[in-house]
Chain A
Amino acid sequence: MSLLSRLAEKSWLTPGAEGFDEPADYRPAAVAVGLYVYFAVMAIIFSLTVAAYLMRMGLHEALGHGAGDWRPMPEPALLWVNSFILLLSGIAWEVARRGVSRPDRIRIAVIAGGLLGIAFLLGQVMLWRHYDAAGYYLSANPANAFFYLLTAIHGLHLIGGLAAWLRVLARPRLSSIRLCALYWHSLLFIWVLLAGLLLST
C-alpha cells in the first residue's frame, strides 16, 4: 500500500485484523528506520549551514545580507588528497556491503573502510593546520569561518560513524555493515557537495 492510500484509510469502516501480517515479518529493522530518519536531520543541518554560507557570502546582497568582506580561500592539493582518501574509504565500504559472495573479503574491507576514514580525518586536521599556518585562521574572514564550521560538522559526523564502525568490528553483522556503508556514502556525497561549494566560491 502506498503512503497516500494508507493515509486515506477509513479506519472506522473496517474493523478486524484478518489479512494483517506480523509486523516483525515485513518491517525493516529499527536501526535502519532510525538511520533513514537521521539522514533527514543531517540533510537539514548541512543545507541550513550552506544557506547561511551563501547569504553571508553576499549572494543576496540586494536583500541586505553580507558584505564585500568575503575573501575566498586558496585550494591546496591536500583538499584533493583528502577527498580521494574519503572516496577510497567509501569504495572499501561498498566492497564490504557487496561481500556476500566473498565473505573473506568483508572483514578486510570493513577494517580498511574505517582506517581510511581515520586517515581522512587526520588529513582534515592537517588541512586545518595548513590553512592556519598560512594565516587563514578562523576569525580572519567569514569564508574561513564557514570552512572550519562546515568541515567540523562533517568531521563530527564521521567520528560518529567511526563509533558505529567499532561496534561493527566487535559484533560483525551484515545488516550493520550495510547501514555503515550507507552512512559512509552519504558523508561522501555531502563532502563532494561541500568541496564543490568551497572550490566554486
Chain B
Amino acid sequence: MATTIADDLRPLHHPKTWIGKYVWSQDHKVIAIQYGVTAIGIGLVALVLSALMRLQLGFPGMFPSIQPENYLQYVSMHGMIMVVYLLTALLLGGFGNYLIPLMVGARDMVFPFVNMLSYWVYLLSVLVLVASFFVPGGPTGAGWTLYPPQAITEGTPGQEWGILLMLASLAIFIIAFTMGGLNYVTTVLQARTKGMTLMRMPCSVWGIFVASIMGLLAFPALFVAAVMMMLDHVAGTSFFMPALLSMGQPLDHEGGSPILFQHLFWFFGHPEVYIVALPAFGIVSDLISVHARKNIFGYRMMVWAIVIIGALSFVVWAHHMYVSGMNPYFGFFFATSTLIIAIPTAIKVYNWLLTLWRGDIHLRVPMLFAIAFLFTFIHGGLTGLFLGNVSVDVPLSDTFFVVGHFHMVMGVSPILVIFGAIYHWYPKITGRMWNNVLAQAHFWITFLGVYAIYLPMHYLGVLGVPRRYYALGETAFIPQSAHVANEVITVAALIVFVAQGLFFYNMIWSLFRGPKAGPNPWGAASLEWQTPDTPPKHGNWGAKLPTVYRWAYDYSVPGHARDFIAQDEAPS
C-alpha cells in the first residue's frame, strides 16, 4: 500500500519486476503514460478516418473503395473516438493522472489499485471499440450521437453488431472513467500536502478536478441511455423505439420516445464539451503564466469561472435539440442559459489576455500553442454565440457551420493545449528536451493548417452545405466555389495530417537522443517541477513530503533573486 497523506507511516510498495513496474503498475505516472499512449493510439485511428472523409469530400468519386456506408461509419467513429476515447481519456486519464499527485504534493493517487484497474478497463473498452471494425456489417454509421430509431434500424450501417459493440464499449469506458474520476476527485480533496489550500492549487488541477466531478455526474446519463438502447436492440423493449415500419414491415416496438434518448445523450453530451474544455482551460492558464513570467491575472476569478462554467453546463443541454421538435419554450430557456455561459468564459479569455499584457513573454513552443489556443477558442466561442440562439441555429443546423464551430471550440482548441502541454511537461516526464526546429515546424503547420481547414467550413455552412453527406452531387444552391473550397480544405487537411509525423518523430527521437533537460527548464513555480528526481521516482518526493508556503504563481516578484519563487520555498 502506498502512503498518501502522511509521511513514513507505511512504506511504499516498490515493485521489483519489469512487469510490476511498467505493465501492472500502480504508479500514477506510469498509468498516466499508459492512458496517454493508448488514447493517442486510438486517436490516430480517428485521424486516419478524418483523412479518408476529407478525400471523399474533396474529390468525390475518385475513391471507389469509399462507399456511402463507409463514409457514415468514418463520421461516426471519428466523432466518438475523438471526443470520448482520445480527448476525455488523454486529458483526465493522462494529464489528470500525471499532474494531480505531483501538483498537490501527494505520493500517488489515493486508490492506486483502482487507478490501475481504471486503465485496464479503459483499454478493454478501446479493444471492444476496435473490434467493431471487424464484425460483419462493420462499425456503426449512426453518427456519433447514435440517435434512435435509426441507429438500430435496418438501413443504417452496422445496425446489427457495430452499434452493439459501440454501446458496450461506451458502458465499459464509463465504468473505467468512474473508477478514475473517483480517484482524481478524492485525491484532490484528501491528499493535498501540508499548506496546499484549495486556492493554492494551480489552475490545471482546478480544471481537471471540476471536469472529473462533471464526468462523474454526466457519464451516468450516457450509461443509462446505452443500456436502454441495448435492451431495445437485443431484448425488444421500447424505451426509445416508437412504432414504425421498416422495409414495409411493422417492427415489434411501440410508444418509445426517441427524444428521451436525445435528452439523456445531451445531458451527458453537453457537459462532455466542458469535461474536455475545463482541463484545457486550466492547463493553458499555467502555460501562459509560466512562459509570460507573470502571475495568472485574476486567479480567484479563474477558479470561480471554472466552477461556474462546470455548474452551468448541466442546464444547457437542449441547445443541441432546437430542431428536434421540443416545446419552443424550452428553446427560450436553453438559449438563455447557453448565452449566460459566455460570461464566465469571457472572463477567462480576458484574464488570459491580461496575463500576457506586459508580460516577459518567451515564445517557446508550449507558449506558441497556448497563444494559438486563444485564437481558435475565441473563434469557436464566437460562432457558438450564433448557434446558441434558436432563430440563428435553425437555418444553420446540420450544416458545415456547425462542423466548423465545434471543431474550432472543442476539437482544435483542446488539441492545441494538449500539444502545448506535452511539449511543456515532456522534460519532466522523460528528463530530456525535444528538438526545437521540429517543434516549431510542427506548430506553424498545425496552427495555420487548422485555420485553412475550418475557416472555409463556416462559409460552406452559410451556403447551406449539409454535414454528414457522402457527396453533394448536382444541387442548385451549392455553387462551384463550394466544391473548390472542399478541395482546398482536403489539401490543407492532408498537409496537417502528414505534419503530425514531425511531432511523433520528435517525441520518439528525443526520448533517446534529446539533450538532458534540467529539473526545471522553464523556471516554473508549481510543485511538480520541484521533485527531487527528474523524472520523478515512484513515491515522487523522496523521504519527506514537501510543505507548501505559497500559491503557484509567484513570478517576477520584485526584490527576489530569481524571477520565480517555488511553492515549497519557505518565506525568508
Contacts and interface: CB of A to CB of B under 8 A. Distances in A.
Interface of A: 6-12, 15-17, 20-24, 27-30, 33-34, 37-38, 40-41, 44-45, 48-49, 52, 55-56, 62-70, 138-139, 142, 145, 149
A30 B110 contact: yes
A9 B304 CA distance: 12
A63 B324 CA distance: 12
A7 B111 contact: no
Given A6-B198, A34-B183, A41-B178, 13 more contacts: A15-B554, A16-B549, A28-B190, A34-B110, A34-B182, A40-B216, A48-B264, A52-B264, A56-B256, A64-B327, A142-B237, A142-B255, A145-B237
B300 A69 contact: no
Interface string B202-223: 0000000000010011001101
What 8 A-B pairs come out closest when comparing CB atoms? A24-B6, A67-B255, A139-B236, A30-B110, A69-B255, A17-B195, A15-B550, A145-B237
Given A11-B550, A30-B186, A49 B224 contact: yes
Interface string B166-198: 000000000000100011011001111111011
A34 to B, nearest CB: 4
A15 B566 CA distance: 11
Contact of B220 (A23, A44, A66, A139): A44
A30 B227 CA distance: 31
Contacts of A40: 213, 216-217
Interface string B249-263: 000101111011001
27 contacts: A7-B303, A9-B197, A10-B300, A22-B6, A23-B191, A24-B5, A24-B6, A30-B4, A30-B111, A33-B190, A37-B182, A37-B216, A41-B178, A41-B216, A45-B223, A48-B267, A52-B260, A56-B239, A56-B260, A64-B325, A64-B326, A64-B327, A65-B259, A69-B238, A69-B254, A138-B237, A139-B237
B194 A17 contact: yes
Given A11-B551, A63-B326, A33 B189 contact: yes
Q: At the interface, is chain B mostly helix, strand, loop or mixed?
A: loop
B259 A67 contact: no
B295 interface: yes
Interface residues of B, number: 66
Contacts of B263: 55
A15 B568 CA distance: 10
B543 to A, nearest CB: 16
A23 B197 CA distance: 10
Contact of A45 (B9, B186, B224): B224
Nearest to B326: A63
B449 to A, nearest CB: 39
